[in-house]
Structure 1
Amino acid sequence: MPIDAAKALAAGPRSGEIHWDRRDVQLYHLGIGAGRPATDPDELRYVLETRLHVLPSFATVAGAGSPGVISGLSMPGIDVDLAKVLHGGQRLEIHRPIPVAGTATATGRIAAVYDKGKAAVLVMRTEVADADGPLWTNDAQIFVRGEGGWGGDRGPSALPHSRLRSSGGTPTEPPAGEPDRTVELPVREDQALLYRLSGDYNPLHADPEFAKLAGFDRPILHGLCTYGMTLKAVVDTLLDGDVSRVRSYTTRFAGVVYPGETLRVRMWRGDARVRVAVGAAEREDAPVLADTIVEHS
């Protein structure tokens, strides 16, 4: 079996030093659509070095995103076909604001392996700390088609990736009632090509032939690009543009986004949290992100 759950869970963590600077932050922000309009003072906070702040979702690519989804596939006990891999969900916990430039130690391990019958789910946990202490913790859910069925722990009842109807996943309904705010975010035709320069070079997002092998008509946008675009919308719309207020951010990737489409982001304000639903506007709000929560101060 390509996935040896016991071996993966028993493997020791991998640690390495990561670095980032303002150019990495600026490139990431441009990759998620920041800087439009180019003269907007609020947008310049994301792209102009003299005003720069860091959107917390930058943590998913800091140090070129390593360790992360791709590195998780090289952990002991894991040997799978990249064409069968999809990013199922993401949880980010921010321990303190991310500096514009830094050096830190990233420690990654497989925290869980779930048997979903027709698929397996790996949870890759990455903890990052610098000389002043913990900075953030990332949990990436990696969905691997065709690798379940060994009789292991099924894990949470909700599948992390409901794009795959054959696996039996059911998208969670968004909150009842009208959202407090709704914004629409255009996805540029070249956005995946720009976003991948932050470190995720999976050919699923750039190579039409590879995308077809993976079951898609054409390359799809990185789920983490949608993730970053959505957090920026929440921060700018409901958190007064203050990135330091974000405490955690959780989502399940419920569907694909194609470059050139429009994201419709609906937000429901609660006590110290914002619930979010994201759909593809041109496809009758087909779910893109589900079970999405931003916890804040």
Structure 2
Amino acid sequence: MPIDVAKALAAEPRSTELSWGFKDVLLYHLGIGATELRYALEGPGLQVLPSFCTVAGGALAAAGGLSMPGIDVDLAAVLHGGQRIELHRPIPVEGTAVQASRIAAVHDKGKAAVIVLRSEVTDADGPLWTSDTEIFVRGEGGFGGGRGSSVREPAPEGAPELEVLQATREDQALLYRLSGDWNPLHADPEFAKRAGFDRPILHGLCSYGIVLKAVVDTLLGGDPARVRVCATRFAGVFFPGETMRIRMWRTGGRGRIRVTATAVERDDAPVLADMSVEEVE
């Protein structure tokens, strides 16, 4: 069996040093369409969007979730199922940190498996962020394991407090992949067809960054430091060049924002769902 659950869960955490500078921040921001000077110009006014932590220093690749002991799967069967980040403090423009990554869980969804990769990042001043990445692997379920939580929050009620339409570039995925996600699913038409798609799709984490930026720029007053947690489920594909409809609702007072993202050109097909952003208290 390609996934040896017991071996994967028992493996020691993998520690990797991460380092990044302002050029990495600028490239990431351009990859998600953040072209405002506060995101795209080096200097004392440069802000760092919280979602940068998903690529900082090659974070996702360095975590090595698909090369952990007990994990041996076909890249063409892999999709990003969900993402949660918790910021312990704002991300510096330049930094060096240590990332400790491990397989926190493997869920059996019947026709698929979901691998939960947890990464904890610390620098000389203490914890920086914690990231949980859910990796959906088609065809690898049915091994008799637990299904994990299937609880879904009810859809937000009423009209959204705010709606944003965000256009994307035809070459958005080609630009975003320069931050370190080299999966050919997002660039190679032939590989995309083998994976079951008409053409390359946008990285889920690129959509994630686009949506979180919209929340920061509107309901959070343009201040990335106000984000404490951002979690989402990747509910469907998004193609470069499409327009994203981003809807936002405040729930539970000022501390939590519910968000959905859909593809306008495909009758608002879901892209991100069960998304929430929690503010720093």
Quick check: TM above 0.5? yes
C-alpha contact 1:187 1:262 (8 A) present in aligned 2: yes
C-alpha contact 2:257 2:278 (8 A) present in aligned 1: yes
Could you tell me how far apart the structure 2 residues matched to 1:191 and 1:136 are? Answer: 26
The residue number in structure 2 matching 1:285 is 268
C-alpha contact 1:127 1:137 (8 A) present in aligned 2: yes
Identity of aligned residues (%): 70
Q: 1:64 aligns with which of 53, 58, 63?
A: 58
For residues 262-277 of structure 1, the aligned pairs below 5 Å read 262-270=243-251, 271=253, 272-277=255-260
The residue number in structure 1 matching 2:87 is 94
Residues 151-204 of structure 1: CA deviation (Å, up to 9, x unaligned): 11111125xxxxxxxxxxxx8763110000000111100000000000000000
- 1:52 lines up with 2:52 in the alignment: no
Residues 30-77 of structure 1: CA deviation (Å, up to 9, x unaligned): 000011xxxxxxx211011121010000000001234467x2010000
Q: Which runs of 5+ in 2 are unaligned?
A: none
- SS of 1:53's partner is coil
The residue number in structure 2 matching 1:121 is 114
For residues 4-153 of structure 1, the aligned pairs below 5 Å read 4-35=4-35, 43-50=36-43, 51-67=45-61, 71-153=64-146
- 1:3 lines up with 2:7 in the alignment: no
Could you tell me how far apart the structure 2 residues matched to 1:290 and 1:8 are? Answer: 28
Could you tell me how far apart the structure 2 residues matched to 1:64 and 1:99 are? Answer: 16
Distance 1:68 1:18, change over 3 A: closer
C-alpha contact 2:18 2:59 (8 A) present in aligned 1: no
TM-score between the two structures when normalised by the length of structure 2: 0.96
- 1:254 lines up with 2:235 in the alignment: yes
Could you tell me how far apart the structure 2 residues matched to 1:97 and 1:76 are? Answer: 32
- Aligned residue pairs: how many? 277
Which stretch of structure 1 is more off in the superposition, 43-52 or 102-111?
43-52
C-alpha contact 1:221 1:258 (8 A) present in aligned 2: yes
Could you tell me how far apart the structure 1 residues matched to 2:208 and 2:62 are? Answer: 15
Could you tell me how far apart the structure 2 residues matched to 1:6 and 1:201 are? Answer: 29
Residues 80-132 of structure 1: CA deviation (Å, up to 9, x unaligned): 00000000000000000000000000110000000111000000001000000
Could you tell me how far apart the structure 2 residues matched to 1:262 and 1:230 are? Answer: 12
Q: Which runs of 5+ in 1 are unaligned?
A: 36-42, 159-170
Could you tell me how far apart the structure 2 residues matched to 1:209 and 1:65 are? Answer: 27
The residue number in structure 1 matching 2:223 is 242
- SS of 1:77's partner is coil
C-alpha contact 2:61 2:180 (8 A) present in aligned 1: no
Could you tell me how far apart the structure 1 residues matched to 2:261 and 2:61 are? Answer: 27
Moved over 2 A (4+): 65-69, 171-174
- 1:176 lines up with 2:178 in the alignment: no
C-alpha contact 1:114 1:120 (8 A) present in aligned 2: yes
- SS of 2:115's partner is strand
Could you tell me how far apart the structure 1 residues matched to 2:242 and 2:190 are? Answer: 21
